[in-house]
Structure 1
Amino acid sequence: MKYKNVEFKTENDIGILTINRPKAMNALNEEVIQEVESVLRDIKGNSAVKVLIFTGAGEKAFVAGADVKNIRSWGLKEGFDAVRIGHQMNYDIETLGIPTIAAVNGLALGGGCELAMSCTLRVVSENAKFGLPELGLGVIPGYGGTQRLTRLIGKGRALWYLLTGDMIDAKTAVDFGLANLVVKPEELIKRCLEIAGKIAEKAPLAVKSTLFAVKYGSETDLETGLILESALANLTIASDDKNEGIDAFYGKRKPHFKGQ
């Protein structure tokens, strides 16, 4: 399917979704979000895609926030509805069932920072910067920024960057745990494809179970998290992929997982 604001392609079993509004710094609006959601729905129905990479078109921005022109026209009802649409997109990314990698190629501000934080991993170019500048516009982050930033870098640090609007550079993002890896700009997509390829070789059911064990287990007490882990581990133990993995181990060959 062809889209107006995003591009989607696959390389083997890896999907690459590019927000393609470079003149608008890849800013998010309702139409962009609808197109992203359309791609996510297609991926959910396509077991061939094992990892999804997000990036932005051009060299300046990953996604430079929500479209300010839209925010200006929102009232109480429109604002609430728009925020919930953004929440839903990021939740759908977070719970897609396959790993997602944000290839942050420049500015990731406001909604762009929030989109990146919804991804499983974040690989950033040396010129990348994260920020949540919404308080300077008289509003607060509305696509999950107050919640995910706090969970990723801690309450004290999150409050500093939320209240001051200061940006987080690539090196600091890695130091804080906001990003996983920083690379040269020209190596960004290549490195993300290498990481995605390594993940795609793993058993799909085990990958999916790990994603949900970490997401939901980390949001509850340890004992409940361990029970969840036990249940998910038992599903993988009973899988055909487990048998294939062990047979391949003893046979000294590469496993061929089917996600079953």
Structure 2
Amino acid sequence: MSIDLTRDGSVAIITINRPERRNAMDAAHYRALSEAWIEIRDDARIRAAIVTGAGDQAFTAGADIKSFTAAAPPLAELMLTQQGQLLNRGLELWKPVIAAVNGDCLGGGMTLMLATDIRIAAPHARFGVTEVKRGLFPANGGTQRLIRQLPHALAMELLLTGDSVDAALAERWGLINRIVPADTVMSVARNYADRICANAPLAVQAAKELALRSWDVDLPTGLRLEQLMLRLLQTSEDIQEGSLAFSEKRPPRFTGS
């Protein structure tokens, strides 16, 4: 019962390892998950990450409801807005994250997936924010990201009914990138990660940051931010390596500098 973080070359893999509880997470698991995301953010050797769940039944069912509804935390904790940051709650992580959805992706699992960049799913996966069926609502970005990533009527259908949808419908709605055979979910996710890691890491992170920040700025401001970031990257060693590799007809060797 743990949050497992492994590194294979430039790729970090987070496995939510609690299959006996459908990979649901209590407070201790959320703390460990926060620490894993921070390590990925701060380790310059890591260029991309994959998050998945143990077993073949669930990506994660999200919060272990029983552990959180038994007793509310002290009200003072509400003001600790930087405590226990997660990918879907407050943490700024510009390295690409791929969700390998190997089973049900419900509640907090769905809000976690919504904060990832590329999503690969098994055919039997289901997706939903079911919290309203239990007297709650999908926090940690559920009410914020769904409405940005889906058309209004579809987002509100999920938020207000608490119903789940199958992988085929999730793919048609654009919630996930691809459905692949269950036994290939991780290998396909890894293929995406390897292709990303072959690119210039500073450029990849800049592209992700600019794309996500575009949600909060007007177009002229976004275009100006692009211009400034591009000018900054023009001073990098990687842009010189990319140009040289192109002229020499060889794969580039990017260092992130």
Would the TM-score normalized by the shorter structure come out above 0.5? yes
Give, in whole Å, the separation in 1 of the partners of 2:81 and 2:123. Answer: 32
Distance 1:119 1:157, change over 3 A: same
1:93–1:118 contact (8 Å) kept in structure 2: no
Task: Note the C-alpha offset of 1:82.
Answer: 11
Asked if 1:28 is matched to 2:39, the reply is no
In the alignment, which residue of structure 2 is the partner of 1:113? 110
Give CA-to-partner distance per residue, 1:130-180, whole Å, 9 cap, x none.
101111111111111011111111221110111111112112212212111
Counterpart residue identity of residue 236, structure 2: S
Q: Once superposed, what is the RMSD of the aligned Cα atoms?
A: 2.2
Are the aligned partners of 1:16 and 1:54 in contact in 2 as well (CA < 8 Å)? yes
Q: Where does residue 134 of structure 1 map in the other structure?
A: 131
Q: Using the alignment, how far apart are the partners of 1:67 and 1:79 within structure 2? A: 22
Q: For residues 14 and 35 of structure 1, what CA distance do their matches in structure 2 show?
A: 19
Once the 2 structures are TM-superposed, how far is the Cα of residue 99 of structure 1 from its aligned partner? 0.3
Percent of residue pairs bearing the same amino acid type:
34
Is the 8 Å Cα contact of residues 116 and 122 (structure 1) preserved in structure 2?
Answer: yes
Q: Which residue of 2 aligns with 1:160?
A: 157
- Give the structure-1-normalised TM-score: 0.92
Alignment of 1:85-234 (within 5 A): 88-91=85-88, 95-234=92-231
| Mapped partners of 1:130, 1:140: distance in 2 | 15
Q: Which amino acid in structure 1 is aligned with residue 63 of structure 2? A: A
* Among candidates 238, 244, 255, match of residue 252 of structure 2: 255
Write the distance in 2 (CA, Å) between the matches of 1:173 and 1:157. Answer: 11
Structure 1 counterpart SS, 2:59: strand
**Given the superposition, is the C-alpha separation of residues 203 and 194 from structure 1 closer, same or farther in structure 2, using an over 3 Å criterion?**
same
Using the alignment, how far apart are the partners of 1:108 and 1:85 within structure 2?
Answer: 26
Normalising by structure 2, we get a TM-score of 0.93
Deviates further, 245-254 or 169-178: 169-178
Residue in structure 2 matched with residue 237 of structure 1 by the alignment:
234
* Greater fraction helix: 1
**Matches for 1:5-20 after TM superposition, within 5 Å:** 5-20=2-17
* Aligned length, in residue pairs: 257
Relative to structure 1, the CA distance from residue 164 to residue 13 in structure 2 (aligned partners, 3 Å threshold; closer, same or farther) is same
Structure 1 runs (4+) deviating above 4 angstroms are 76-87, 91-94
With over 3 angstroms needed to count, the CA separation of the structure-2 counterparts of 1:81 and 1:29, relative to structure 1, is farther
Change (3 A) 1:52 1:123: same
Task: Name the CA distance, whole Å, in 1 between partners of 2:162 and 2:122.
Answer: 21
Question: Given residue 68 of structure 2, which amino acid in structure 1 is its aligned partner?
Answer: I
* Contact 2:88/2:112 (8 A) holds in 1: no
2-side partners of 1:182 and 1:96: how far apart?
Answer: 25
